[in-house]
Structure 1
Amino acid sequence: MAVTGDVEVFPTVDKCSSEGRETHTVVADLDGTLLRGRSSFPYFALIAFEGGGVLRLLFLLLASPIIGLLYYLVSESAGIQLLIFASIAGMRVANIESVAQAVLPKFYASDLHPESWRVFSACRRRCMLTANPRIMVEPFLKDYLGVDAVIGTEIQTYRGHATGLVRRPGVLVGAEKATALQRVFGEESPEIGLGDRKTDYPFMKLCQEGYVVPSSPQVEAVRREQLPKPIVFHDGRLVQKPTPVLALLTVLWIPVGFLLACLRIAAGALLPMPLVYYAFWALGVRVIVKGTPPPPADKSSSRSGVLFACSHRTLLDPIFLSTALGRPIAAVTYSVSRLSEILSPIRTVPLTRDRARDAAMIKSLLQQGDLVICPEGTTCREPFLLRFSALFAELTDEIVPVAMENRMTMFHGTTATGWKGMDPFYFFMNPSPAYQVTFLSKLPRELTCAGAKSSHEVANYIQKLIAATLSYECTTFTRKDKYRALAGNDGTVASKPNKAQYTKLMGC
């Protein structure tokens, strides 16, 4: 460390060797250091929107000019204090924890600084020292990056709600970071300290080596495969990280988007199915059809209807399949909200999760005509397919695999923790959503149960076929694994796999 006057000048992080650090301890700041972006606003905006709704996000946006003035003209601590207050005051602590567990990790993981991560990941003991609320960052840091200790700002709570104030000693910036570090490490001096601004210098001076991370948001983020644990499941409505501009556009678009969604849903529910394709196209919804769809089932024939086995992207999969076919196809589903059932232009039949009853019901429906089922049982936003249920394969040899893929630029059309009845609205609130429906060839008889294949062999074959078509990977993760993971249940392999377990789990 060089000294010029009263200002310490630390070398940049690219000068730090990551060799021989297996026994060392590293202490790092978060925003601008371990993350490329120096602003924590997008993550507070996610907490505000996902945990409190659009009005909370609007309140945060209105407070942003004051937050900026306090941050730059008064003190960093005062600006962060108001940012915390505007984002979470009055919010249920359980909602903050849910967003921190199921929503934020996806966005944090896409913003890791490669040079900081190179050094950080090389050390045996990893400590994070941040001005952000600990409750907000700890799930990602501990569950996905293997951080041993998270020292952050502690928020005040009252009867299960956040007050928006912080506990003593206040927001961890400047000298408070150094004090907090001494409280945890005592006389021990960590080997490496990483920071990105002058207010990080006090804690960096307590480390044996200190390195500054230059501001370089254009640098390419750490790739998915370099993370200790991949993020397979995540939740939340927003597709993109809400920078101030995007957050403002989101707030302004929602009233317009909701009216547009109502119009699109009305067109799909009220118009004859042969016209829905053209109505969607006129309203900005793109339906792309690939492959050759089979003809309608002949009701006079003794043969059962065709069973369409689809990958599962949103609750709207059966509707867009029907749109692509130009005729309504009945669908069986594990769960559907009352609102979705009312608005649906096709017949939906809920499964009971009783294998014998469900099998009898599906056979009966196939005798009446074609049927669509999503054997994954739930949705996954990453390019993965979950394990297919083998139940459908036992019931018919008339199976047509269908690869479903969609495009959403603003809102996700599916959620695990939110109100499922709003899923169709959020999908149709996107400015120009799209669905691609790819019909694959009907399974030859020798590859079905009628050809002496087991139901699991049939299900696995279809899963691999669809995954190859979409360039996805197929996994053995199940519907239950998804909800356990999003709930932060670390007692299951699927919710917290290490690298070796994940490698073993991937593939059918």
Structure 2
Amino acid sequence: MAAKAFFKFFLFFFRILLKGIRNQRSFHRKGNSHGPLHQLQRCHSSLVPMCKLEELSQQTLVCDVEGALLKSNSTFPYFMLVAFEGGGILRAFLLLVFYPLLCFVSEEMALKVMVFVSFCGIKEEDFRVGRSVLHKFFLEDVSLESFEVLMRAGRRVGVSGLPRVMVETFLKEYLKVEVVVGRELKMVCGYYVGLMEDERIMMKDGFDLEAVFGDEKTSCDVVGIGSFNNSIIDHHLFSQCKELYRVTETDKRNCHSLPSKNYPRPLIFHDGRLAFIPTPLATLAMFMWVPFGFLLAIFRVLVALSLPYMIALPILSFTGLKLRLKKPNSSPSVSTSNLKKSRGTLYACNHRTLLDPLYLSVALNKPLTAVTYSLSRVSELLAPIKTVRLTRNREEDREMMDKKLRQGDLVICPEGTTCREAFLLRFSPLFVELSDEIVPVAMRTHVSMFHGTTAGGLKCLDPLFFLMNPFPAYEVELLETVVKESDEKSSIDLANFVQGQIGGALGFECTRLTRKDKYLMLAGNEGVVSADTRPQKEVKSEKIRDEILRS
């Protein structure tokens, strides 16, 4: 009887817990839906009636970020990203352990707990998750209908109940929001202590729109978009609104995601290890997978290092690794001129992970020498193929690559760094000066749990994280050989042509951005560790970010 009673109690508790997890509450105290505010005006295609949309270009729009702009009602995934990417796996596990308790406390208390666990002890100077990680996930959660209303406004003000450091980059740099109002975090000696300013102070703070925009008419032409169940609607800025439109839960369920082609500014660079939205259930699945995934990655590495390709390939395929090779109708071969000169074949590929040269070598079933701009000592020691580190001195690098090309086949990634999105960085023209024939190679990768690249983390762990994915996939496509027929084309034009060939095969957009641009945006450095010049590079990173985003 005792066992039966215990089982019933356990089943009852489990049902309550599962219901709380499925609901994924937004962790904001419900606001009062009554008061001197206008009722939501409904229409079929947008949040604001069409007759009002035309007037927005002359008005200031105050937008509730979590309640109206984002589709999801849960802010837990964003704090999990801060905890995992900014604090490490142990901090992320601690936040997950607290999640069941968060479902049974007040929403303001739940928010305070998540902020404390995620931010406590993190140095303000080193916190880059808001700039390099969160904006991607925020953009994927934006409602298309709310976005269209936001873009029609003449001036935009974003009001959020989250810490300002989490949402400021996303709103200002990617949604063109002029003013961001959010919770401020308290600091001691440059470190976050995990505490926020009092919510009542934020609600009553005398924020003057006229002083910010320098226009006396601003306060007269203010329109707001909020939510029925979000306490941020009580912010004093919404009390200044001439009209206020409220988003219901039905509106949120029926809204559409913002397509990437509609982003005001393209999402080219982002960092972080997690390749999925870390909802509570998805995060739990990740932690259950990590021990097995780590052992599986070690096994995959040992098989690749110790066995010949022909034997290792079936075993690795059985463990979940996928490799697909696509060749052109006429297979690339070494020309007669190259045979006379006893030179190898030069392969130029786009850069997705550090494993690009290795997968190409396995796909072709022949040894290659990989030329890299930056490679950790650990990866260099464990690499099953020859690797050569560039010195960044043009003449020395050219002589070294020419020497290696005379000894055998050579593979180079002219971008100089990886890019996760459907964009190609500028190709360095040095490689086209080494050979009269170049074989372009288009690389595609797919991961479901962890990214195998990083700008601000430990690069020696990149292959490990890639191999920890349940089913990491690579597609290697050999393109038609590019032959340098004459010297009429400059090396820059030929490099751009090769970039265009690879971009066309992948469906990627070619850019003029470089490795330096990426690291200045994501890590605040140029990709080379140099402690004595770091403050100067931090200043440069802000300038280069503005230049890139404007372009």
1:180–1:125 Cα change, 3 Å: farther
1:58 to 76, 82, 93: 93
Aligned residue for 2:148? 118
Aligned residue for 2:160? 130
CA deviation string 1:318-364 (max 9, x = no partner): 00001101122111100100111111100110000111100100110
Query: Does the 8 Å CA contact 1:25/1:127 hold for their aligned counterparts?
Result: yes
Aligned residue for 1:141? 171
1:291–1:191 Cα change, 3 Å: same
CA deviation string 1:169-203 (max 9, x = no partner): x13xxx65541365666994661121113424434
CA distance, structure 1, for counterparts of residue 48 and residue 254 of structure 2: 19
CA distance, structure 1, for counterparts of residue 366 and residue 273 of structure 2: 30
1:355 and 2:364 aligned: no
1:303 Cα offset (Å): 2.6
1:483 and 2:519 aligned: yes
1:236 and 2:272 aligned: yes
1:301–1:278 Cα change, 3 Å: farther
1:4–1:234 Cα change, 3 Å: closer
Aligned residue for 2:18? none
Query: Does the 8 Å CA contact 2:348/2:438 hold for their aligned counterparts?
Result: yes
Aligned residue for 2:461? 422
Structure 1: 5+ residue stretches without partners? 502-508
Partner SS state of residue 395, structure 2: helix
1:210–1:6 Cα change, 3 Å: closer
Give the letter aligned to residue 549 of structure 2.
Answer: P
CA deviation string 1:272-297 (max 9, x = no partner): 23433323212210010010565699
2:60 to 7, 25, 37: 25
CA distance, structure 1, for counterparts of residue 315 and residue 266 of structure 2: 40
Give the letter aligned to residue 157 of structure 1.
Answer: M
Query: Does the 8 Å CA contact 2:38/2:243 hold for their aligned counterparts?
Result: no
CA deviation string 1:78-137 (max 9, x = no partner): 2211111121112222343x0100001111111111222222222222112211001111
Partner SS state of residue 58, structure 2: coil
CA distance, structure 1, for counterparts of residue 34 and residue 63 of structure 2: 25
Aligned residue for 1:497? 549
Aligned residue for 1:206? 240
Aligned residue for 1:151? 181
Partner SS state of residue 444, structure 2: strand
Give the alignment of 1:70-81 within 5 angstroms. 70-71=105-106, 76-81=107-112
Give the letter aligned to residue 139 of structure 1.
Answer: T
1:472–1:84 Cα change, 3 Å: same
1:274–1:399 Cα change, 3 Å: farther
Partner SS state of residue 80, structure 2: helix
1:10 and 2:39 aligned: yes
Aligned residue for 1:379? 418
Query: Does the 8 Å CA contact 2:223/2:243 hold for their aligned counterparts?
Result: yes
1:86–1:456 Cα change, 3 Å: same
CA distance, structure 2, for counterparts of residue 275 and residue 189 of structure 1: 74
Question: Relative to structure 2, which stretch is displaced further, 181-190 or 194-203?
Answer: 181-190
Aligned residue for 1:411? 450
Aligned residue for 1:82? 113
Partner SS state of residue 186, structure 2: strand
% of aligned pairs identical? Answer: 41
1:287 and 2:326 aligned: no
Structure 2: 5+ residue stretches without partners? 1-31, 525-540
Question: Relative to structure 2, which stretch is displaced further, 314-323 or 284-293?
Answer: 284-293
1:397 and 2:397 aligned: no
Question: Relative to structure 2, which stretch is displaced further, 299-308 or 391-400?
Answer: 299-308
Question: Relative to structure 2, which stretch is displaced further, 329-338 or 147-156?
Answer: 147-156
CA deviation string 1:186-231 (max 9, x = no partner): 9946611211134244343431111111222452222223332111
CA distance, structure 1, for counterparts of residue 243 and residue 98 of structure 2: 38
Give the letter aligned to residue 413 of structure 1.
Answer: G
Question: Relative to structure 2, which stretch is displaced further, 359-368 or 259-268?
Answer: 259-268
2:306 to 270, 276, 283: 270
Partner SS state of residue 543, structure 2: coil
1:365 Cα offset (Å): 0.3
2:205 to 180, 193, 201: 180
CA deviation string 1:357-381 (max 9, x = no partner): 0010011001111010001111111
CA distance, structure 1, for counterparts of residue 426 and residue 38 of structure 2: 54
1:495–1:420 Cα change, 3 Å: farther
Query: Does the 8 Å CA contact 1:178/1:206 hold for their aligned counterparts?
Result: no
2:124 to 82, 90, 93: 93
1:274–1:477 Cα change, 3 Å: same
1:475 Cα offset (Å): 0.9
Query: Does the 8 Å CA contact 1:296/1:370 hold for their aligned counterparts?
Result: no
Matched residue count: 484
CA distance, structure 1, for counterparts of residue 521 and residue 494 of structure 2: 28
1:307–1:434 Cα change, 3 Å: same
CA deviation string 1:285-313 (max 9, x = no partner): 00100105656999985331000111110
RMSD: 2.5
Query: Does the 8 Å CA contact 2:345/2:410 hold for their aligned counterparts?
Result: yes
Aligned residue for 1:504? none
Query: Does the 8 Å CA contact 1:408/1:434 hold for their aligned counterparts?
Result: yes
CA distance, structure 2, for counterparts of residue 253 and residue 94 of structure 1: 32
CA distance, structure 2, for counterparts of residue 330 and residue 282 of structure 1: 27
CA distance, structure 2, for counterparts of residue 218 and residue 267 of structure 1: 49
Query: Does the 8 Å CA contact 1:297/1:306 hold for their aligned counterparts?
Result: no
Question: Relative to structure 2, which stretch is displaced further, 299-308 or 279-288?
Answer: 299-308
Give the letter aligned to residue 127 of structure 1.
Answer: V
Give the alignment of 1:288-367 within 5 angstroms. 288-291=324-327, 294=332, 302-367=341-406
1:108 and 2:138 aligned: yes
Query: Does the 8 Å CA contact 2:222/2:240 hold for their aligned counterparts?
Result: no
Question: Relative to structure 2, which stretch is displaced further, 431-440 or 179-188?
Answer: 179-188
1:458 Cα offset (Å): 1.7
Aligned residue for 2:195? 165
CA distance, structure 1, for counterparts of residue 33 and residue 429 of structure 2: 70
CA distance, structure 2, for counterparts of residue 496 and residue 333 of structure 1: 25
